[in-house]
Structure formats: structure tokens, C-alpha cells
Amino acid sequence: MTKHHFTTLHRNHLLFQRLKSDNFTWWQFIKENIKSGIFYVDIRKDNSLNVYYNGGSLLKITFSQGKISCKIHEYYLGKSGSKYVEYNLDNLSDEANTLKERIASRYSDTSESGIKARLICDPSAKYIDSEFAYPEIIGKKKDRYGKEVAAYLTTRIDLTKLENGKIIFVELKRIEDGRLLTNEYENGKPEILYQMKAYHQFVNVHKQEITDYYKTLFSIKRDLDILPQSLSGISNIDDYVLCEDVELYIEPYSFLNIERIRRVNAIKTILDGNNIIHNL
């Protein structure tokens, strides 16, 4: 994948211009729900935006053929199927509660998606993005017809925050996640160490591209007045730098017993011994 992957996002794209200039009732409704910590919005590299509720992607909003359009998963409309279908945004305020109930039935508060939403929507949070994804060509493969095509490896990181003049990636795990601590540690390393090392290498290779990308993304969110409350006083992030170390947020147990305390301490020992920044 070339640098073009990051430069497709444009602050002056027509979607963002229309959202700024036109007083769409549905957009005002979305913004009200963002400010009250119910929805959150992520800007995507293809100049679209996703509206999330409880970690589930409620709406994907795009601009094509001279108009704003929107798609929603059939399940959220109470239909069977797995496709994304056209949705009339003028119906959003009337149907929002029903749509939220259906999303909540798929993404519980204790799911990784639900935890992510809680972190992002916290009034003191400084998250600017979630579900970062970057596909890279790593070789060739044969498709089902025997034709040679590019093989991709996609790097995915859960959260991105702005803190102390830095752009910081954050990986999210639940404390029960088997990749944090396995029986194999006696003869090897748990998977989380390989994952964090791969993130570190990725960030170093693409450092300038990612930094420039988030400067653009921040400007768009500021233009649209959808920045997190704790970041609303920042005019730009021109002087921010990308942190080379990816942080690890681990959702803790709801209560502790001796066995769980032992597990937490073992995980902390591994992470501290490998200089991984974490919250335990």
C-alpha cells in the first residue's frame, strides 16, 4: 500500500462542506446525541463518516452523485439478512430508540465494542478515532479462479487519543483475553507481546503519514463541531507528534478473588518486563 492510502482524506470534501453549511435536522440530531455521550462519529479515509452507538456502526454517511446518502445494516431495521441498505436520514430522530435497542442486543455493554464506546463517550476522554485500519500489500496469492492477485495484511488498532502533545494509539483488551497470558508463557511469549511489537514497527514505518492524516482528521472534526468535549479547546494539532509506543488498555474484572488477583499480577509482570504502557 502506498502513501496514497492516507492522502485520500480531504478537509474540503463536499460531504464535510455540506454538513457545515446546510442545517440538516438529522445532522443536528446526531450532534446533540454526540454531546450527550450517546453517539460518536468517526471520520473515514474515503471521506465518509460512521455514526456509532454502543460500539456498533449505526450509519455510514457518504457523498456521491451530488447528494448525501446513508446506509444501515438490515438487522437494525428488524430485517433478516446481512447487507447494508439505503436509509432515509429524515427518519432518524423518530426511529433512533428502536435502532439503539437493536444495536444493544448485538453489542452489550460488557463486549469489547461496548467497552470501547464507554471509553470514547466519557466526558473526560480524549479519543479522536477508533478502529484504525491500514491494509498493506505483502505479496501475491491466487483467487478462487486461479488468477494472481495482491495479498493484503491489515493492521487494526482500536483507539487513537490526543494527550500531552502526542497522538497515541491504544489497543483494547478485556482482562479475560487469552492472548494476555497463556500457559505457553513458560516456553514462549503470550501473543500480546508479538502484537504490540508489530504495532510499534508499523508506527515507525508510517510515522509521518499517520501524523499528517490525524492532523487532517482533527481539522475535519473541529470544522464539524464533533470533537470530544475535552479537546474542544484545541484549535489544531500542528505541533503534535505520533507516539512510537502503542498503549494497552485492559478492561479489569468487575470483582476480584485470589485467582483473579494472581492472573492480574502475572499479566502486569509480563507487560512491565517488556516496557508496555498499560493501565493495570
Label residue 165 left, alpha or beta by phi (over 0 means left) and psi (-120 to 50 means alpha).
left
Residue with cell 435536522: 25
Q: Answer whether 58's CB lies under 8 Å from 52's CB.
A: yes
Measured N-to-C along each axis, helices 258-273 and 191-205 cross at an angle, to the nearest 10 degrees, of: 40
The maximal CA–CA distance of the chain, rounded, in angstroms, is 61
* pTM to 2 decimal places: 0.93
Give the pLDDT of residue 136.
79
Cα–Cα dist 171/184, whole Å: 22
Type and span of the H or E element at 103: helix 92-106
Coil, strand or helix at 140: strand
Give the pLDDT of residue 189.
84
Cα–Cα dist 230/55, whole Å: 20
Closest CA to 132 of 232, 9, 1, 43: 43
pLDDT (tens place) for every residue of the chain, 280 residues total: 445 667 899 999 999 999 999 989 999 999 999 999 999 999 999 999 999 999 999 999 999 999 999 999 999 999 988 899 999 999 999 999 999 999 999 999 999 999 999 999 999 999 999 999 998 776 677 777 777 766 668 899 999 999 999 999 999 999 999 999 876 555 568 999 999 999 999 999 999 999 999 999 999 999 999 999 999 999 999 999 999 999 999 999 999 999 999 999 999 999 999 999 999 9
Cα–Cα dist 77/80, whole Å: 9
Give the pLDDT of residue 1.
42
Residue 7: beta bridge partners?
none
Give the pLDDT of residue 147.
77
Check the CA dihedral 132-196-125-36 and report its sign: positive
Instruction: List the grid coordinates of 174.
Output: 478485556
Q: Which residues contact 183 (CB under 8 A, 6 or more apart)?
A: none
